[in-house]
Amino acid sequence: MKISKAKILKYGIMGIIAALVATFFLKKEKPQGHPRDYAQIATEKVIRAATEYNSISYYVDGDTLSGFHYELIEAFAHGHGWKVDITPEMSFEKRLEGLANGKFDVIAYSIPVNSELKDSLLLTVPIILNKEVLVQRKSTSPTDSLYIKSQLDLARKTLYVVKGSPAILRIRNLGNEIGDTIYTEEIEKYGPEQLISLVAHGDIDYAVCDESIARAAADSLPQIDINTSIGFTQFYSWGVSKQSPVLLDSLNAWIDTFRKSDEFELIYRKYLNDNK
């Protein structure tokens, strides 16, 4: 299904405004070169993090920055006496590129732990459990041909995803499991919340995103259905460059300790509103 320029303008405006507002908090363009490890970051006392701008991970609330991953990376940096230089980057591919060229030190965003991604970066110990879900409109009648009742109904359907999303790997594997092709359409300038809005308003039929983001969106978009799982519940982690093993060790030690703390429990419940 083609998305008209008018619809892109209509539903893209939130993402554009979000990016502009978030960019206001960025003081300068990040230097690029080679990935840094712990010693270089400790010398500068600034850790450069990439995340995604959405209502769960990182967002601007008035004059305050908020979000699950934002608060976690701030807590990590604070514990080391560092500051955080955070960049909202909607494209997962560009986050990986940023790690490779030293623009970012860490991807502070939920990354599903799988063997394919382990070839591209180092993943921390798990931070949360999550899964990918199908976002579609609720059925309008028992004979609604668009409504997906099970994963088998996804054969020959087109699912919209954020460009470079790890969900693409899962969709490909799911196609193999059901013995048919599932098509994907990658959208570069949209985040998952914008794709959910497109589904809700009938501009596209199906999108795939993290369950936590879908559940948050469902509160204000009652016409969407998020009950069909695309993947199984699995661990989600942060990522660093393969040239940053000491940083990985530091993050792992901190995450192992911090996840057991009352502070983590408060942050988790504040944004994810669920049980660990």
Q: Which domains does the chain have, with CATH numbers?
A: 31-128+236-272 (3.40.190.10), 132-229 (3.40.190.10)
Percent over 70 (pLDDT), the chain: 87
Name the burial class of residue 219, with classes exposed (0-12), middle (13-18) and buried (19+) by CB atoms within 10 angstroms of its CB: exposed
| Residues 117/238, Cβ–Cβ less than 8 Å | no
Give me the mean pLDDT over the 143-162 stretch: 94
pLDDT digits (tens, 9 = 90+) for 50-68: 999 999 999 998 889 999 9
Percent over 90 (pLDDT), the chain: 72
| Residues 241/35, Cβ–Cβ less than 8 Å | yes
pLDDT value, residue 190: 87
What does the alpha-carbon distance between residue 70 and residue 59 come to, in Å, rounded to a whole number?
Answer: 9
The amino acid at residue 64 is T
Q: Please, which pLDDT band fits residue 274 given cuts at 50, 70 and 90?
A: low
Q: Helix (H, G, I), strand (E, B), or coil: what is residue 130?
A: strand
pLDDT digits (tens, 9 = 90+) for 176-227: 999 999 999 999 888 899 999 999 999 999 999 999 999 999 989 999 999 9
* pLDDT at residue 79 is higher than 60: yes
